[in-house]
């Protein structure tokens, strides 16, 4: 990406322009499309965070994780428990948010440690089971001792706040109305930008190359002196950290968490984003997350359109969305396995499938 | 003691259904090394097809055995067509692709089947007509219906027949050869594509019957029913040793019994800390435990690097 | 080269924006300024419920109820504060999903609705209530029964349905009283609704002196209950209560029959559906269930409402359409008393509501819960739900039930 623009002055101008666009975006969207779309963009940013986290595990290290939403859940609940009336704790987000990410990372290691030996499909199944176990436990930890409030969920979660400045209030700064959705946009944007930066740096780092080596051939990577155990654990922990951070932000943004937000379907959704956009490529993941968050919103118009053209609603928009997801997964694997915006390495790998298979 | 025996019977009937579904997973895995995520959903399609046909035929007033036989036939035909075409369209082009590709495809197919079913049958729970009124068999303190007995016996008979087929028939031999090494089997004159297609055919047919058993047994069908069923059956297959047909049967029965006993006794054993709400957690813990500590399962041979 | 237009676009946006930002606050003023006395004002009423997905049939039912109320109100040529008012429906789909619900809530607030009827499930109503509260838009849920919904301290949050802590105890009192249950087993489906109602039931029967032999759990996706039922069978209860919905309750009563369990079976409004009888077959006979509100045909305006609904939508009322209808009427009633359609003005009046609705008398307590909502107990008799008795929580059986 960075190689595209050679002239440093032009590069800075591009960065500046991008920054201006990104800062102006929520206000422009608010004015043109309405505040609900700012909220949709907020959610998309959260999914970008999640997608980037999963990308580390699936895209870089090649470990298929079907229970990734569990880390999102762990992060969300950690934040919720430490900053809500549930236990009467109201920690500052400066402490609670990193803590949520840390707890998620610990769970990442917890999942990673026993599954080190497993590869491919077995790992997929174990992670799927792990995701379901977390959800079932969150749903049932209200008896005999009430911890998570069970299926009723946790309400009145604290917003992000420093002193009296809380992000759930509306402010007027220099004539601009800054509503909660706007303030959260900037927080999420900052987090997403940081994650993109970290992801890009990781990709080219020693660790990133070690992950890719493991993905290509674990045995060879091991014999080249890579400590495969630690490197894999690190992938799980890093991926989980991103998920946990996104979870904490989600909890503060929504003010409410309940187990029904963390189902297997959500795990598959995030996986779709990564696969569709392009496994292992940061730009692809961002594209995938943005596309898949906007798609259901666009599909809302499919119902009325069907009614207008065909006289009745034959395919429920939410069904249509799932059908398209399923179809997209199948077609992508058949015709464009490396994603819409593939990483160069990945594309080579999928194209040279015969050799890759023989190596296994 | 009566209660214990009753739980055992419950578990065995449940387990026999798991075992039938597990066969589909294990046969495909044995030959392709692919977890066919969509298999549970193929069973679901079979179940809902059987349900619809039975509803229509029962309304016409046909004799019950004929209704059941025709419903089963319809389910098997639909599922076989589906299973074989999925293999042809979605999996075959990916046979030599990196392992992640077919797995993601399988997830895609699973989602596709579920929501296609939601389109066709809607999302509400559908009721299976009571074609035959089950009558109770009381046997000491244990009570079961003739329907349960029928399901259990039919499942055992099917499994026995399948085992015999794989061990003794020409096609069975070809399947085993392909399992060991598809390339060499091809050199030996086995048409590998035919064998793989046939494996899907067999697995789907057995899955269709299993799906029909589920709607007969519980009386309800639903577009999402294949997911849990598939997951449990996969657990059973892993428990017995994936790729091993006899192991899948044993694993299915074992898992059914473990689940029933866990749901029945866990509350008392842990003094009320854990309850029947953790039933599904147990199934997953068994799965994770086996995969981590004995990936080859109870009856599996050493699978080497396969895991 | 390609970059130039992007920069241009960015600059253009940056130039346009300060203007947009400043423009955002005025619109409310405009709304106040437009209504010249003779002209009709348009008041938007939001409706939020799942219009797609597995619960769509109930969500559409609610929206239809709201639509019917709005058409009736418009036909009545209502004047508020001396001005003619035309009501307009803004219906949104929340997919019964908590995250979507907040987006939809924001959309309704953006559309400047004066009041919202919704959402259907508690998981959606709770996160959305925060957005309505922030915007000062009053919200009446026609169907969310989670007690937490009104416990958040929001002034804008109301419901016109009895919550789980009212329905559960009523059912419990009925079990211990009229049914004379002494040995009870309780099962829930691990959802907010099922656990809430089962917990309240358990506490009530315990207080009434019955023995709770077992508390078991299943999920809202399971269909195999043999293991927990076998355990319960060994404890020999005379009543089994299930907190959950019909897809589980149907197979559950079937499996009870297969295991030879003779105990009575009861549940909340989630099983009081025609589908339960279909799924349970012969085993459904004798099952009891409670449902908030009077029997549909015994509601004060019930018969007329049912006929009107049928004529308009060519469908039977599923469950919550009457509540949706009444929610709108309660809003309009409050607007009339306040003489204003401004949320800030009529919100205080909403709390003081005394309205005779389709579902019966409507009044709110200080939390926004329906006061003494009547609850009717039904029993399955020869394949149909028959009303047994109507009780008002905390009070004596209401007059209607005696008829």
User: Is C72 a member of any domain?
Assistant: yes
Three-class SS state of A121:
helix
Out of A117, A144, A323, closest to residue B112 by CB: A323
pLDDT of residue B87: 94
**A217-225 average pLDDT score:** 89
Q: Strands, DSSP E only, in C57-207?
A: 79-80, 83-93, 115-118, 139-141, 157-159, 183-188
User: Contact, A171 vs A178, CB < 8 A?
Assistant: yes
d(CA A131, CA A266): 10
The pLDDT, as a whole number, for residue C393 is 61
Tokens encoding A27? 């206000």
Nearest to A326 among B111, B285, B288 (CB): B111
The residue to which tokens 């509503």 are assigned: A179
Q: How far apart are CA B112 and CA B101, in angstroms?
A: 16
What does the pLDDT average to over A302-323? 75
Q: How many CB atoms lie within 10 A of CB C297?
A: 10
Interchain pair A319, B97: CB under 8 A: no
Sorted by where each begins, the domain ranges of chain B are 2-131+139-293
Read off φ and ψ for residue C267, nearest 5 degrees.
-160, -175
Contact C23 A31 (CB under 8 A): yes
Structural tokens at position B10: 């419950």
Contact: B98, A350; criterion CB under 8 Å? yes
Q: Are residues C57 and C151 in the same domain?
A: yes
pLDDT of A33 reads 85
More confident residue, B46 or A315: B46
CB within 8 A of A31, min separation 6: which ones? C17, C20, C21, C23, C24
Q: Are residues C253 and C277 in the same domain?
A: yes
pLDDT at position C10, please? Answer: 44
Tens of pLDDT, residue by residue over C195-204, are: 888 999 999 9
For chain B, list the contacting chains (3+ Cβ pairs, <8 Å): A, C
Shared domain for C246 and C394, answered yes or no, is yes
CA distance C31 to chain B (A): 43
pLDDT tens digit sequence for B68-89: 999 999 999 999 999 999 999 9
In the stretch 182-201 of chain C, residues with CB closer than 8 A to chain B read 190
CA gap C288, C375 in Å, rounded: 13
Please judge whether B6 and C233 are an interchain contact, meaning their C-beta atoms are less than 8 angstroms apart.
yes
Which pLDDT value is given to residue A315?
74
Closest CB from B2, B214, B259 relative to C227: B259
* Rg, Å, chain A Cα set: 21
Q: Which residues of chain C have pLDDT under 50?
A: 1-35, 395-403
- pLDDT for the residue numbered A207: 92
- Put simply, the chain A residues between 178 and 237 with a CB less than 8 A from any chain B CB are none
Residue C389 CA to residue A137 CA, distance in Å, equals 39
CA distance B236 to B247: 9
Predicted confidence (pLDDT) per residue in A150-170, tens digit: 888 888 899 888 877 888 788
Query: Which residue segment(s) compose the domain that C322 sits in?
Result: 41-161+296-371
Count of structural domains within chain C? 2
- C393 with C277, same domain: the answer is yes
Mutation target vs A (from C1, C94, C123, C157; most A CBs, 10 A cutoff): C123
Nearest C-alpha in C relative to A44 = C99
Which tokens in the block code for residue A34?
A: 């309405």
pLDDT for the residue numbered C13: 43
- The answer to whether A23 contacts chain B (CB < 8 Å) is no
Paired tokens of A18: 């991008």
Assigned token pair, A92: 């500052």
Length of chain A: 360
Looking up tokens 């706040």, which residue turns up? Answer: A161
Q: Considering only CB atoms, which chain C residues are within 8 Å of A10?
A: 3
Q: Which residue among B111, B277, B288 places its CB closest to the CB of A325? A: B111
Q: Rounded to an integer, what distance in angstroms lies between the CA atom of residue A48 and that of residue C206?
A: 50
Best residue in B26, B93, B101 for a mutation probing chain A (most A CBs within 10 Å): B101
Q: Does C5 touch chain A (CB under 8 A)?
A: no
Distance from CA of A145 to the nearest CA of C (A): 14
Instruction: Enumerate neighbours of A (3 or more CB pairs within 8 A).
Output: B, C
Q: Decide if A323 and B280 are in contact by the 8 Å CB cutoff.
A: no
Token representation of residue B157: 């008979």
Contacts of B103 in chain A (CB under 8 A): 64, 120-121, 124
DSSP per residue, B247-288? HHHHHHHHHHHHHHHHHHHHHHHTTTSS-GGGHHHHHHHHHH
Distance CA A229, CA B161 (A): 45
Buried b (16+ CB within 10 A) or exposed e, B229-249: bbbbbbbbbbbbbbbbbbbbb
How does DSSP classify residue C293?
B
Q: How far is CA C32 from CA C45, C73, C115, C313, in A?
A: 17, 22, 17, 35
Nearest to A43 among C7, C22, C99 (CB): C99
Say if A122 is an interface residue toward chain B (CB within 8 Å). yes
Integer-rounded Cα radius of gyration of chain B: 19
Yes or no, beta carbons of A268 and B111 under 8 Å apart: yes
Would you state the pLDDT for residue C222?
A: 86
* pLDDT over threshold 80, residue B34: yes
Beta bridge partners of C84: C79
- Asked if residues A31 and C20 have their Cβ atoms less than 8 Å apart, the reply is yes
- C214 shares contact with chain B (CB less than 8 Å): yes
CB of A328 less than 8 A from some CB of B: yes
Question: Which ranges of B139-169 would DSSP assign to H, the alpha helix?
Answer: 146-168
Q: Residue C383 maps to which CATH number?
A: 3.40.50.2300
| Cross-strand pairs, C183 | C211
Does residue C190 sit in the same domain as residue C288?
yes
In a domain, C14, yes or no: no
* Closest residue by Cα to residue A160 from A130, A181, A139, A131: A181
- The alpha-carbon gap from A260 to the nearest alpha carbon of chain C, in Å, equals 8
B13 → chain C, closest CA residue: C226
Whether the per-residue pLDDT at A117 is higher than 60: the answer is: yes
Given an 8 Å threshold on Cβ–Cβ distance, is A39 in contact with C195? no
Say yes or no: C87 and C235 in one domain.
Answer: no
What is the CB neighbour count within 10 angstroms for residue A166? 15
Q: Which of B118, B221, B233, B276 to mutate to test the interface with C (most CBs of C within 10 A)?
A: B276
- How close is the nearest chain C Cα to the Cα of B17, in Å? 12
Does residue C353 sit in helix, strand or coil? coil
| pLDDT tens track for B120-161 | 998 778 888 887 777 888 877 788 888 889 999 999 999 999
Q: Would you say the C-alpha torsion B297, B298, B300, B304 has a positive or negative sign?
A: positive
CB-CB under 8 Å, A303 with C3: no
pLDDT of residue C26: 43
Alpha-carbon distance A173 to A254, whole Å?
24
- Nearest-by-Cβ selection for A318 from C3, C53, C110: C53
Helix (H, G, I), strand (E, B) or coil at C380: strand
Would you state the pLDDT for residue C83?
87
Nearest to B116 among A279, A323, A325 (CB): A323
pLDDT digits (tens, 9 = 90+) for A43-59: 999 999 999 999 999 98
Does residue C230 contact residue C256 with C-beta atoms inside 8 Å? Answer: no
Percent of chain B at pLDDT exceeding 70: 97
Residue labelled with tokens 């995520």: B37
Query: CA of C359 to nearest chain B CA: how many angstroms apart?
Result: 27
* Same domain assignment for residues C386 and C238: yes
Tokens coding B149: 């007995």
Which position has the token pair 């995938």?
A288
Q: Which span out of A174-178, A335-339, C54-58, C60-64 was modeled with the highest average pLDDT? A: C60-64
* Residue C173 shares a structural domain with residue C138: no
Q: Do A155 and C152 touch (CB under 8 A)?
A: yes
Handedness of CA B236, B240, B244, B247 (dihedral sign): negative
Whether C348 maps to a domain, the answer reads yes
Contact A154, A86 (CB under 8 A): yes
User: What rounded mean pLDDT belongs to chain A?
Assistant: 86
Q: What is the pLDDT of residue A348?
A: 67
What is the chain B residue with the closest CA to C261?
B143
Asked if the bond preceding A30 is cis, omega within 30° of 0, the reply is no
pLDDT of B244-289, one tens digit each? Answer: 888 888 999 999 998 888 888 887 777 777 778 888 888 888 888 8
Q: What is the mean pLDDT of residues B222-236?
A: 89
Tell me the pLDDT of chain B averaged across its residues.
88
Q: Which of A333, A352, A356 is the best mutation test for B, with the most CBs of B within 10 A?
A: A333
pLDDT of residue C38: 55
- Please tell me the least confidently modeled range out of A84-88, B43-47, B299-303: B299-303
CA distance A316 to chain B (A): 8
Same domain? C303 vs C397: no
User: How far off is chain C from A17, nearest CA to CA, in Å?
Assistant: 5
Beta bridge partners of C140: C117, C158
Complex-level ipTM beyond the 0.90 threshold: no
**Most confident of the ranges B70-74, B114-118, B296-300, C100-104:** B70-74
* Interchain contact, C52 vs A155, CB within 8 Å: no
The shortest CB-CB distance from C230 to any of B10, B130, B218 is to B10
Of the candidates B96, B116, B307, which has its C-beta nearest A354's C-beta?
Answer: B96
Which of B127, B224, B261 is closest, CB to CB, to C221? B224
Q: Are B283 and B232 in contact (CB under 8 A)?
A: yes
CA distances from B69 to B145, B274, C56, C268 (A): 20, 43, 35, 39
DSSP one-letter code for A315 = S
Q: What residues does C85 pair with on adjacent strands?
A: C41
Q: Please, which pLDDT band fits residue B37 given cuts at 50, 70 and 90?
A: confident
Same-domain check for residues C380 and C361: no
Chain C residue with Cα closest to A137: C190
Q: Which residues of A touch B223 (CB under 8 A)?
A: none
Which pLDDT belongs to residue A351? 64
Give, in order, the Cα–Cα distances in Å from A188 to each of A194, A269, A270, C116, C138. 10, 20, 17, 29, 29
Residue A313 and residue B119: Cα distance in Å, rounded?
11
Q: Which residues pair with C356 in a beta bridge?
A: C361
**What is the phi/psi pair of residue C339, to 5°?**
65, 30
**Would you list the DSSP string of A248-289?**
HHHHHHHS-B-GGGS-HHHHHHHHHHHHHH-TT-HHHHHHHH
Which of B248, B268, B161, B266 has the alpha carbon at shortest distance from B205?
A: B161
Q: A62 near A228, Cβ under 8 Å?
A: no
Q: Are residues C116 and C186 in the same domain?
A: no
* Mean pLDDT calculated for residue range B225-242: 88
Pairing of strands B136-139, C41-49: unpaired
């Amino acid at each position: 990406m960075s190689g595209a623009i050679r002239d440093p002055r032009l590069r800075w101008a591009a960065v500046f322009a991008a920054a201006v666009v990104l800062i102006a975006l929520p206000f422009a969207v608010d004015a043109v499309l309405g505040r609900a779309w700012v909220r949709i963009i907020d959610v998309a940013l959260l999914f970008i965070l999640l997608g980037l986290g999963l990308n580390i595990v699936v895209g870089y290290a090649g470990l298929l994780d079907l229970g990734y939403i569990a880390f999102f859940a762990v992060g969300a609940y950690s934040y919720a428990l430490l900053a809500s009336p549930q236990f009467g704790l109201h920690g500052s987000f400066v402490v609670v948010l990193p803590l949520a990410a840390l707890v998620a990372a610990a769970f990442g290691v917890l999942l990673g440690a026993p599954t080190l030996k497993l590869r491919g499909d077995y790992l997929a199944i174990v992670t799927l089971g792990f995701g379901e176990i977390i959800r079932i436990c969150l749903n049932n930890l209200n008896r005999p001792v009430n911890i998570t409030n069970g299926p009723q969920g946790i309400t009145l979660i604290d917003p992000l706040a420093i002193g009296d400045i809380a992000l759930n209030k509306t402010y007027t700064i220099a004539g601009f109305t800054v509503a909660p959705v706007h303030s959260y946009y900037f927080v999420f944007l900052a987090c997403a930008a940081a994650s993109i930066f970290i992801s890009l740096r990781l990709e080219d780092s020693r660790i990133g190359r070690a992950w890719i080596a493991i993905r290509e051939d674990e045995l060879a990577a091991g014999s080249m002196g890579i400590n495969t155990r630690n490197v894999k654990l690190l992938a799980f922990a890093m991926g989980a950290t991103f998920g946990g951070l996104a979870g904490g932000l989600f909890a503060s943004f929504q003010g409410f968490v309940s187990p029904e937000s963390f189902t297997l379907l959500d795990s598959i959704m995030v996986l779709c984003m990564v696969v569709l956009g392009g496994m292992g490529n940061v730009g692809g993941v961002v594209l995938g997350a943005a596309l898949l968050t906007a798609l259901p919103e666009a599909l809302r118009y499919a119902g009325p359109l069907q009614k207008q053209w065909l006289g009745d609603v034959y395919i429920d928009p939410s069904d249509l969305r799932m059908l398209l997801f399923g179809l997209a997964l199948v077609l992508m694997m058949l015709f464009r396995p490396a994603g819409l915006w593939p990483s160069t390495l990945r594309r080579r790998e999928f194209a040279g499938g015969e050799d890759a298979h023989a190596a296994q | 003691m009566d209660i214990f025996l009753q739980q055992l019977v419950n578990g065995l009937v449940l387990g026999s259904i798991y075992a039938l579904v597990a066969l589909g997973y294990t046969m495909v895995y044995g030959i392709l090394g692919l977890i066919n995520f969509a298999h549970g959903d193929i069973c679901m399609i079979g179940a809902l097809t059987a349900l619809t046909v039975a509803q229509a035929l029962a309304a016409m007033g046909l004799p019950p055995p004929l209704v059941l036989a025709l419903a089963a036939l319809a389910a098997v035909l639909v599922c076989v067509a589906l299973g074989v075409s999925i293999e042809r369209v979605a999996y075959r082009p990916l046979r030599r692709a990196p392992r992640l590709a077919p797995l993601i495809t399988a997830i895609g197919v699973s989602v596709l089947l579920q929501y296609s079913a939601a389109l066709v049958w809607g999302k509400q729970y559908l009721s299976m007509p009571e074609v035959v009124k089950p009558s109770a068999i009381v046997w000491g303190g244990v009570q079961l219906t003739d329907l349960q007995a029928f399901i259990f016996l039919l499942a055992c008979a099917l499994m026995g027949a399948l085992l015999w087929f794989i061990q003794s028939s020409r096609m069975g031999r070809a399947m085993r050869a392909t399992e060991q090494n598809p390339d060499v089997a091809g050199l030996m004159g086995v048409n590998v594509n035919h064998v793989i297609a046939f494996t899907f055919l067999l697995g789907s047919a057995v899955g269709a019957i299993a799906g029909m058993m589920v709607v007969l047994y519980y009386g309800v069908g639903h577009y999402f029913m294949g997911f849990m069923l598939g997951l449990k059956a996969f657990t059973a297959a892993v428990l017995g040793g994936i790729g091993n047909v006899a192991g899948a049967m044993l694993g299915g029965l074992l898992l059914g019994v473990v689940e029933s006993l866990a749901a029945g006794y866990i509350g008392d054993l842990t003094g009320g800390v854990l309850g029947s709400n953790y039933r599904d957690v147990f199934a997953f813990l068994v799965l994770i435990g086996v995969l981590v500590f004995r990936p080859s399962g109870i009856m599996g041979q050493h699978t080497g690097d396969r895991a | 080269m390609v970059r130039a237009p992007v920069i241009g676009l960015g600059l253009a946006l940056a130039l346009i924006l300060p203007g947009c930002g400043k423009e955002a606050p005025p619109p409310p003023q405009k709304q106040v300024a437009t209504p010249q006395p003779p002209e009709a004002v348009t008041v938007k009423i939001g409706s939020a419920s799942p219009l797609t997905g597995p619960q769509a049939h109930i969500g559409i039912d609610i929206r239809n109820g709201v639509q019917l109320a709005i058409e009736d109100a418009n036909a009545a040529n209502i004047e508020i504060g001396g001005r003619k008012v035309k009501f307009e429906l803004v219906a949104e789909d929340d997919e019964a999903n908590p995250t979507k619900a907040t987006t939809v809530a924001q959309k309704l607030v953006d559309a400047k609705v004066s009041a919202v009827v919704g959402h259907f499930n508690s998981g959606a109503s709770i996160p959305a209530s925060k957005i309505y509260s922030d915007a000062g838009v009053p919200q009446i849920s026609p169907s969310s029964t989670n007690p937490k919904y009104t416990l958040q301290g929001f002034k804008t949050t109301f419901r016109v349905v009895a919550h789980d802590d009212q329905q559960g105890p009523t059912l419990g009192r009925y079990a211990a009283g009229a049914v004379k249950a002494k040995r009870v087993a309780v099962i829930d489906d691990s959802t907010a609704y099922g656990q809430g109602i089962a917990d309240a039931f358990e506490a009530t029967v315990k207080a009434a002196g019955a023995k709770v032999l077992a508390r078991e759990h299943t999920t809202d996706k399971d269909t195999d209950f043999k293991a927990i039922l076998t355990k319960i069978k060994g404890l020999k209860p005379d009543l089994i209560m299930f907190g959950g919905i019909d897809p589980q309750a149907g197979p559950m009563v079937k499996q009870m029959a297969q295991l030879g369990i003779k105990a009575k079976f009861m549940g909340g409004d989630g099983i009081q559906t025609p589908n339960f009888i279909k799924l349970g077959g012969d085993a459904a006979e004798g099952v009891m269930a409670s449902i908030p509100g009077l029997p549909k045909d015994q509601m004060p305006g019930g018969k007329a409402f049912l006929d009107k609904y049928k004529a308009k939508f060519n469908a039977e009322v599923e469950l919550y359409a009457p509540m949706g209808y009444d929610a709108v009427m309660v809003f309009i009633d409050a607007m009339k008393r306040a003489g204003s359609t401004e949320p800030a003005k009529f919100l205080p009046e909403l709390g003081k509501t005394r309205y005779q609705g389709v579902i019966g008398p409507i009044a709110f307590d200080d939390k926004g819960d329906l006061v003494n909502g009547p609850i009717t107990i039904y029993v399955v008799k020869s394949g149909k739900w028959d009303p047994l008795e109507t009780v008002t929580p905390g009070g004596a059986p209401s007059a209607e039930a005696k008829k």
